[in-house]
Structure 1
Amino acid sequence: MDTVTGSVRTAGSSPVLARTLTVVVIGSIMAVLDVTIVNVAIHPLATAFGAPLATIQWVATGYTLALGAVIPVAAWAMGRFGAKRTYLTALALFAGGSAAAALSWNVETLVLFRVVQGLGGGLLMPVGMAMVIRAADRERMGRAMAVLGVPVLIGPVSGPVLGGWLIDAVSWRWIFLINLPVGVVALVLAARLLPGDVTRQTRRLDVPGLLMLSPGLALLIYGLSTGGERGDVMTPGALLPALAGVLLIAGFVVRGLTARHPLLHLRLFRDRTFAAGFATLTLFPAGYFGSMLLTPMYYQTTRALTATESGLLGIPLALAVGASMQIATRRIDKASPRVTIVSGIVVSVLGLSLFGAQLGPDTPYWRLCAAMLVMGAGVGMVMMPANATATRTLAPDDVPSGSTTLNIASQIGISTGVALMSVILASNVAGATDPSQRAAAFQHTYWWAVTLLALAGVPALLLPRRRIDLGVGAPGPDPHPSIPSEHSAG
């Protein structure tokens, strides 16, 4: 706890910012650890429940669907109930869902309780990020975002190893019970340290918008996930839900542009910096997380490694991402956002290309890890710096809507990337009978992930050339401007 608090204090001298970051970092560590632990537990859970892999996969899919469905509510909930109350509710849902999941007696109840976890997890990041953005001024924004990236370092490094050990040495139930002490600490600290909710918005919830966006996101994610699992997005069970989701999201966009009080403020896309950040944070996670699906599968199916061994080989990437993120996000306060983020994309493309180009059945592991180190250095220069840049020019009243919208972008990108890589890999690996052929199938699939990373460079070129001097809540002639000023056009 002292280590986290000490790191938080380096983000700035504001006591409110330090307290907020302490709470949000602890809550985010819990959520990120849970996702990384459960990802390595799918096969052991299938064995424990005697269920087919396609059924047990809903332990992850159910969580993701709930996550996508509840994220759009975050901005309204913060306005209606206050950020602190909303965050406390999210922590309670996540911790309570974890406890219930640990007591599950069959697959159906486990999936149900994972949905409860997802409802809490979907609120944690946008609400936590909005509270941090509100507490940070323009001089502390980059450093605050760097501290907010600490869970991204801790989760991927420790999650797979911790999850493998808990399953092998204790029981699968402990992969959920491990969340309880962290959740209790986060709840106590949130209740004591977060500033009180002073005012509330009185605007009514945009129910038609919510009924289009939340089901639309859930159907789109479901269709993509189903297509990825079956290796074919054109099957009716995958294509029809995905198309229905796209139509509902399109309807939400039309309503968002015409409604007096929309669920999310789509007018924010009139600001070039925010729009470019949104596009970057959709394309880049699609390539990055899509490739992260492939790597453990390559190690386990082509190199015959265990889940724990493949998790250990992922540590260099996670360390590189964390270290690079800390440096780049702290420097974004003084450096050019465009140069930093575009350079990160170029380095990421180079690292993943090096990994894919030398992929084979007997490639030395040190060479693969070296390529992942290069990629990780680039990844750390992109995601949190892009988030900090996209939200820096937002007016205080627009922060909840903006942070929620960016989280939706990342979720859509991740779901799309994972589904696309699954489909492409399934089509390439069909008929592969030996390790060399399987390695070639993975190699071909990696080039698609490289392409997605490279495409993220196009909107990133529209980010500001110079550092953005306008901070959240910066003084000006209009304390609540409807559209950020023109220096965001870079």
Structure 2
Amino acid sequence: MNTPNASPATSATTARALLPLTATVLVGAMAALLDTTIVAVALDELARDLAAPVTMIQWVTTSYVLAMTAVIPLVGWSVGRFGARAVWLTALGLFLLGSILCGAAWSAGSLIAFRALQGLGGGMILPVTQLVLARAAGPERLGRVMGTVGFVGQIAPISGPVLGGVLIDGWGWRWIFLVNVPLVLVSMAMTWRWFPRDEERDERRLDLVGLLLLPAGVVALLHALTGLETRAGIGAATLTAVAGAGLLAAFITRSLRRAEASLLDLRLFADRAFRSGTVMMFVLGVTSWGPMFLLPLYYQRLHGLSALDAGLALAPQTLGIALASLLVGRYADRLPPRPLALAGMAAATLGTLPFVFATPDTDALLLSVALLLRGAGFGVASLPVSVAVYRTLRPAAIPHATSASTIVQRIGAATGTALMAVILQAGGFALALTWMFLLTATGLVMAASLPGRK
């Protein structure tokens, strides 16, 4: 049996020891997950209260995702150097500070800056959660643990839009950030009791050049994407895109040539299961986060719903994700990733189709059923993708695999958010909803690249 001082790298963690550890990290993760959806229903209120256009207020979401993306490459190195427990407490502290400052923001600019600080903490919380539980569960229990985590983890996104609507309508938008404070404090208290200490340390040096090249390249490409919303900005956007592509190319070339360990271990992409799973995580990031920005505005501006009613309208989607994650966990250990992912993305695509033809007079019940189906599809598809990323890797590669796959997913999330904002600004809701369907259908096609054998 593991003692409190045992390394989490030990694969023989008992069910009795695994339960409180899982509860500890999930309480903290729920705060970060809650923030991904609770803000969605506040964007319309924020745009009015802070006198900011939609193209600017979308950076409240995008800055959070970009900060998460920038810090994720540090997770593998920092866990090896300082231990998962120390990194976990640091992440909780940053997220707590960012949440308090967001609640005190006085302008759109200050809120965007404080959201970036909050994103630095949230960006570490989620991959450390995955890393710790993947180590503790071991390969034989990975699917079941991830299934349970998927269900519990979706409680926050389900509650997010509804809770956000209640807080906004009752006390104002500042409370959507301050609500994180008690959750983070509880997780910190549980960490001191149940989070094990690491005994092993990795003394490899941090790849500082890579840490500069990768985030700068990603930010440049996304900034170029948002610059395409006007014709006047196309020239500057093109130059920015070229610069971003050059920075990413330099990062990839340097990482593959380095004899020492790089910021991200790109050699992991030689593993077919990891490669296809990580590419699919990018697709899922685009197809889930982009609509997360679009749909609340659609319900509030075209259907005239309040923040609370918009949250309730979105609840079927996250309910579908949660139920599917719980049910499919037992099969993820028995079946290869491809059939489950194909079935899930087919359901998600079918559930997205009604929005292409939706009007302000479309029956709300039809759209709720469509969202439930769409969410269930994503729930079925995402779990086998997560398992595929880890299944054929050595235990020592898990921290680096977590960093690489999670950063790719967050880049997809930021890309999807920025893309939906640009399309919405350029062509309105009809064009944006059509693209939401096309991107989901692309995910169905890409799911065929996953391993078809166990």
TM over 0.5: yes
Give the match for residue 82 of structure 1: 83
Give the match for residue 186 of structure 2: 185
Q: Report if aligned partners of 1:65, 1:221 keep a CA contact under 8 Å in 2.
A: no
Give the match for residue 275 of structure 1: 275
List per-residue Cα deviations over 1:368-412 (Å, max 9, x = no partner): 111222212211111132111211222122111111111112112
Give the match for residue 9 of structure 2: none
Give the match for residue 153 of structure 1: 154
For the residues of structure 1 that align with 2:440 and 2:123, how far apart are their CA atoms? 25
2:347 is the alignment partner of 1:360: no
Q: Report if aligned partners of 1:142, 1:330 keep a CA contact under 8 Å in 2.
A: yes
Q: Report if aligned partners of 2:348, 2:378 keep a CA contact under 8 Å in 1.
A: yes
List per-residue Cα deviations over 1:143-198 (Å, max 9, x = no partner): 11112223542233221221222222223332222111100011111222111011
List per-residue Cα deviations over 1:95-135 (Å, max 9, x = no partner): 12212322334444433322221110111111111111111
Cα gap change, 1:201/1:232 in structure 2, threshold over 3 Å: closer, same or farther? Answer: farther
Q: Report if aligned partners of 1:68, 1:218 keep a CA contact under 8 Å in 2.
A: no
Q: Report if aligned partners of 1:33, 1:159 keep a CA contact under 8 Å in 2.
A: yes
1:265-344 map, 5 Å: 265-344=265-344
Q: Report if aligned partners of 2:66, 2:414 keep a CA contact under 8 Å in 1.
A: no
Cα gap change, 1:167/1:424 in structure 2, threshold over 3 Å: closer, same or farther? Answer: closer
User: Shift of residue 275 of structure 1?
Assistant: 0.6
2:244 is the alignment partner of 1:245: yes
Cα gap change, 1:13/1:53 in structure 2, threshold over 3 Å: closer, same or farther? Answer: same
Please tell me the residue identity of whatever aligns with 2:439: L
For the residues of structure 2 that align with 1:78 and 1:372, how far apart are their CA atoms? 38
Give the match for residue 453 of structure 1: 440
List per-residue Cα deviations over 1:345-378 (Å, max 9, x = no partner): 111112212x235412311111111122221221
User: Shift of residue 42 of structure 1?
Assistant: 2.8
2:169 is the alignment partner of 1:168: yes
User: Shift of residue 460 of structure 1?
Assistant: 2.7
Cα gap change, 1:170/1:331 in structure 2, threshold over 3 Å: closer, same or farther? Answer: same
User: Shift of residue 311 of structure 1?
Assistant: 1.4
Please tell me the residue identity of whatever aligns with 2:79: M
Q: Report if aligned partners of 2:143, 2:333 keep a CA contact under 8 Å in 1.
A: yes
2:118 is the alignment partner of 1:117: yes
Cα gap change, 1:52/1:350 in structure 2, threshold over 3 Å: closer, same or farther? Answer: closer
User: Shift of residue 212 of structure 1?
Assistant: 0.8
User: Shift of residue 298 of structure 1?
Assistant: 2.5
For the residues of structure 2 that align with 1:77 and 1:376, how far apart are their CA atoms? 34
User: Shift of residue 57 of structure 1?
Assistant: 4.2
Give the match for residue 7 of structure 2: none
List per-residue Cα deviations over 1:454-484 (Å, max 9, x = no partner): 33344432333333xxxxxxxxxxxxxxxxx
Q: TM-score, normalised by structure 1?
A: 0.84
For the residues of structure 2 that align with 1:281 and 1:188, how far apart are their CA atoms? 32
Cα gap change, 1:76/1:356 in structure 2, threshold over 3 Å: closer, same or farther? Answer: same
Q: Which has the higher contact order (CA 8 A, sep 6+)?
A: 2
Structure 1's unaligned 5+ residue stretches are 1-11, 430-440, 468-490
Q: TM-score, normalised by structure 2?
A: 0.90
Give the match for residue 403 of structure 2: 404
Give the match for residue 374 of structure 1: 373
Cα gap change, 1:233/1:320 in structure 2, threshold over 3 Å: closer, same or farther? Answer: farther
Give the match for residue 45 of structure 2: 44
Please tell me the residue identity of whatever aligns with 1:322: A
For the residues of structure 1 that align with 2:425 and 2:113, how far apart are their CA atoms? 29
Q: Compute the RMSD of aligned alpha carbons.
A: 2.3
* Bigger mean CA deviation after superposition, 21-30 or 289-298: 289-298
Q: Report if aligned partners of 1:212, 1:251 keep a CA contact under 8 Å in 2.
A: yes
